Structure 1
Amino acid sequence: MKMLVVFVILVHVSQHASAVVLYEGDHFLLPCEFPTFELDNPTVVWSRYDLSPSTVHQRQKEGDELKNQNQLYRDRTSMRTDALETGDLSLNLTKLQLSDSGTYTCSVTSAIWREKRVTEVQLQVKERFPSWAKALLILLVLLVVVLLVTGVLLVHFRQYFMSVYQVEVDSGAESVLLPCKTTVCLPGDIKVEWRDRDNWEVHVYPNGSDQPEKQHQFFRGRTEMKRNLLKPGDLSLTLKYPTDEDTGTFTCTVYNREGNILMKKQVELKVQVCQVEVEEGVESVQLPFRTTGDLPEDTTVWWTDSYRLVHKYQDGSDQPEEQDQFYRGRTEMKRNLLETGDLSLTLKKPKVRDTGRYGCRVYDMEKNLLRGKIVLLQVKDRIQDTDQTVDIRNRSSSTDPTPLMADQSV
């Protein structure tokens, strides 16, 4: 009996999942991209945490390291030989089996950087309907109709059925509210803790006051809770200038003085990826990224496409000798960018071949990630002559982006 494969890819920056049908014995490419060429001695690990050992495939600078690989995947996995040099960390899985169903996690570590879970891919392998079951297709169609109607009702009333609250916001919005309210009277000596999907401390509020020194630097200066929040029972968190890097599940936990959990609620945040569209022939196009103006002087700013270094800013100046030849002389960043927080990149003379995914990463001297943003650029064929500079920001946002003040965040 032949089998069919259905997989669903869950990507942090997208609110839509995709599904593809494959057959037994075929192969599947699990996608993952990350600028590992920026890291010192990086290691990439594909894992399934429901297995023991959990390692599906591991690759280091010296090559594949498979001594801890789960035997279910022996001789069935491979990665590109230049994966760490290009940032294409996709995993090729061959001869698919029913036991391959599960969630695959792509993680990146380096000598001075803790584990970063980059991508999760959920794969489900199922049997195909036997040929004699074709007569049941009519009943299946009717069932699908019923499920679609039920799905519409569930979407309409999702807040009544779902335990995880969902919030969607456009990239470029000034702020987003992560709701967490309770009607229960809470004692005055509680501790309120917000954490993100990577268990980073987003905001800590013990004994009636904020403690910004305990939160992760990625969120420092970007969060706010209401004063006297215990009186109305509103533990909601305001996250300023959210980007696609913030997409994921945030957890609000309330502890008493003894450290026991009094309440826990989750909020799933989805931030639209910034999209920029321009016609070929314009003088330049801007890839927008505005954040706080309190970045340290030793900050390094990297703009990259899927494979190349587009622009680098380090030690207070641009580093044109390090950027890829393809972009040399075509990029520009504003002066005093660390003071203003405007990390936008101007790309001159954009061509159709410049269409693609651009990422900006901001690191401190220890190579800790401080900020990040993804911009999708589409350059269309030239329709008519034009001689002007186009500055297109997040097309999905109705917010008019303006230069940020020093106390504003990503």
Structure 2
Amino acid sequence: MEEVEVTDREDFVRLPFKTAADLPPEAKVVWSRTNKPHTVHEYQNGQNQSDRQNHEYLHRTEMNLDAIKTGDLTLTLKDPRLGDCGVFICTVYNKDGKILRRKVLTVTVKVYQVIKVSVEEGKRSVVLPFKVTRRLLSEDIIVKWRLSDLEDRLLYIYHRGHQGPTQDQVYGGHIEMNEDPLTTGDFSLAISDLRLTDSVYTCTVYDEHGEILHQKVVVLIVRGLQMEMVEVTKGEPSVSLPFKIPGPVDEDIRVEWTHPDSKQTEVMTFENGEIQLSKQNKVYRRRTEMDKDLLTSGDLSLILKNPGVDDNGLYKCTVYSGEEVQQWKTVTLSIRGQ
């Protein structure tokens, strides 16, 4: 069994099969796949028999017209796609149906279309790029964007000139593509209300039969530019750990300040429009404050009173909508000696 590898950006791939040039002139060559109906390619009497071919491979395969004479039964497969991954079998029959030769190959179509897109923490919009070549553009193609990290969620569909987001509760209404992607080949997805967590997005182009023509993976990386260091001198009455987001803020958000470097991690929680004292570690009780009007101002800064050496370290503020993380920020607090 021979292995053949190709990237989905190549124009063609050859599936090699060379044998002794002693085949009878009337021999029939059949290229097939175990998991596909009909044949991939059939050759007999010096001609390619396209009428017996699987529709998926129509106009995409070729063999040399003197294949039987030379013994070179190599198959040229044009426009390799992800759906072409798998096992190919070439079988040579005589006129009575007896098998004269057989070869098995595995084809792997590699996708190198994996890119990384970075966005600064605090930004609420990003464009996930995806452009395809003109040879893939057809009125019958279907394009789907999915969120493919912790769970698989369909976000956006394009088909026959109609496009739009799905009814996803988080992203619905906040994503769009260009108005005429079939002309430009640009199926990039713009997200206007970004939930800033590292995520993996996948855009897939299908033909009318559901076979994958092209796929691209976009890894979104949130750059922690909102990691900040705050220094204060021991003995100061208070210190502010800053975090501001555009207001007004949704009323159903939950804001959690934590101190991961400490055994007392729960610093302060804001939920249901008020501070939740029951969720606060006793070490921070009566020592912390937040803006009482933060839903309007968007000021999520934490005021820490009487900072001491035990307060040194990393603090993290996370904003939730339900169980979805919307934004977060890390602040490193350093208490200097007097």
TM-score category of the 2 structures, normalised to the smaller one: 0.5 to 0.7
Q: Partner residue of 1:169?
A: 6
Q: What one-letter code is carried by the residue in structure 2 that aligns with 1:176?
A: V
Write the distance in 2 (CA, Å) between the matches of 1:233 and 1:187: 10
Write the distance in 1 (CA, Å) between the matches of 2:11 and 2:68: 26
**Cα–Cα, structure 1 residues 283 and 189, in superposed 2: closer, same or farther, change >3 Å?**
same
Q: Partner residue of 2:119?
A: 280
Shift of 1:334: 7.1
Shift of 1:285: 3.0
Q: Partner residue of 2:88?
A: 250
> Higher mean Cα deviation, 202-211 or 279-288?
279-288
Shift of 1:182: 0.8
- Preserved CA contact (<8 Å) 1:280 1:382: yes
- Aligned: 1:195 with 2:32: yes
* 3-state SS of 1:169 partner: strand
- Aligned: 1:234 with 2:79: no
Write the distance in 1 (CA, Å) between the matches of 2:13 and 2:51: 22
Q: What one-letter code is carried by the residue in structure 2 that aligns with 1:277?
A: K
Shift of 1:333: 5.4
Q: Partner residue of 2:254?
A: none
When the two structures are aligned, how many residues end up with a matched partner? 214
Write the distance in 2 (CA, Å) between the matches of 1:380 and 1:294: 30
Which of these residues, 314, 318, 321, is aligned with residue 162 of structure 2? Answer: 318
- Aligned: 1:375 with 2:213: no
What is the correspondence of 1:63-74 to structure 2 with a 5 Å cutoff?
none
Write the distance in 1 (CA, Å) between the matches of 2:116 and 2:11: 22
Shift of 1:202: 1.7
- Preserved CA contact (<8 Å) 2:118 2:221: yes
5+ residue gaps, structure 2: 226-338
- Preserved CA contact (<8 Å) 1:354 1:377: no
* 3-state SS of 2:65 partner: coil
Write the distance in 1 (CA, Å) between the matches of 2:40 and 2:134: 17
Q: Partner residue of 2:277?
A: none
Shift of 1:288: 4.5
What is the correspondence of 1:199-238 to structure 2 with a 5 Å cutoff?
199-200=36-37, 201-238=39-76
- Preserved CA contact (<8 Å) 1:311 1:323: no
- Preserved CA contact (<8 Å) 1:359 1:372: no
> Higher mean Cα deviation, 215-224 or 244-253?
215-224
> Higher mean Cα deviation, 344-353 or 171-180?
344-353
Shift of 1:245: 2.4
**Structure with the larger helix share:** 1
> Higher mean Cα deviation, 322-331 or 217-226?
322-331
Q: Partner residue of 2:327?
A: none
- Preserved CA contact (<8 Å) 1:223 1:238: yes
Cα deviation, 1:38-76, whole Å, max 9, x if unaligned, reads xxxxxxxxxxxxxxxxxxxxxxxxxxxxxxxxxxxxxxx
Write the distance in 2 (CA, Å) between the matches of 1:317 and 1:193: 38
**Cα–Cα, structure 1 residues 228 and 299, in superposed 2: closer, same or farther, change >3 Å?**
same
- Preserved CA contact (<8 Å) 2:7 2:109: yes
Q: Partner residue of 1:304?
A: 146
Shift of 1:283: 5.1
Q: What one-letter code is carried by the residue in structure 2 that aligns with 1:210?
A: N
Q: What one-letter code is carried by the residue in structure 2 that aligns with 1:330?
A: I
What is the correspondence of 1:334-373 to structure 2 with a 5 Å cutoff?
335=180, 337=182, 342=185, 345-349=187-191, 353=197, 355-356=199-200, 358-364=202-208, 368-373=209-214
**Cα–Cα, structure 1 residues 190 and 216, in superposed 2: closer, same or farther, change >3 Å?**
same
Write the distance in 2 (CA, Å) between the matches of 1:272 and 1:298: 24
Write the distance in 1 (CA, Å) between the matches of 2:50 and 2:137: 14
**Cα–Cα, structure 1 residues 347 and 252, in superposed 2: closer, same or farther, change >3 Å?**
same
Shift of 1:335: 3.1
**Cα–Cα, structure 1 residues 188 and 357, in superposed 2: closer, same or farther, change >3 Å?**
farther
**Cα–Cα, structure 1 residues 304 and 280, in superposed 2: closer, same or farther, change >3 Å?**
same
- Decide which structure has the larger Cα Rg and report it: 2
Write the distance in 2 (CA, Å) between the matches of 1:222 and 1:239: 6
Q: Partner residue of 1:152?
A: none
Which of these residues, 186, 207, 212, is aligned with residue 23 of structure 2? Answer: 186
Write the distance in 1 (CA, Å) between the matches of 2:204 and 2:118: 23
5+ residue gaps, structure 1: 1-163, 385-410
Write the distance in 1 (CA, Å) between the matches of 2:51 and 2:197: 44
Write the distance in 1 (CA, Å) between the matches of 2:67 and 2:32: 18
Write the distance in 2 (CA, Å) between the matches of 1:321 and 1:355: 18
Q: What one-letter code is carried by the residue in structure 1 that aligns with 2:177?
A: E
Write the distance in 2 (CA, Å) between the matches of 1:334 and 1:234: 48
**Cα–Cα, structure 1 residues 285 and 233, in superposed 2: closer, same or farther, change >3 Å?**
same
* 3-state SS of 1:213 partner: helix
- Preserved CA contact (<8 Å) 1:222 1:239: yes
Q: What one-letter code is carried by the residue in structure 2 that aligns with 1:181?
A: K
Write the distance in 1 (CA, Å) between the matches of 2:66 and 2:5: 27
Q: What one-letter code is carried by the residue in structure 2 that aligns with 1:379?
A: L
- Preserved CA contact (<8 Å) 2:166 2:172: no
* 3-state SS of 1:230 partner: helix
- Preserved CA contact (<8 Å) 2:31 2:89: yes
**Cα–Cα, structure 1 residues 176 and 284, in superposed 2: closer, same or farther, change >3 Å?**
same
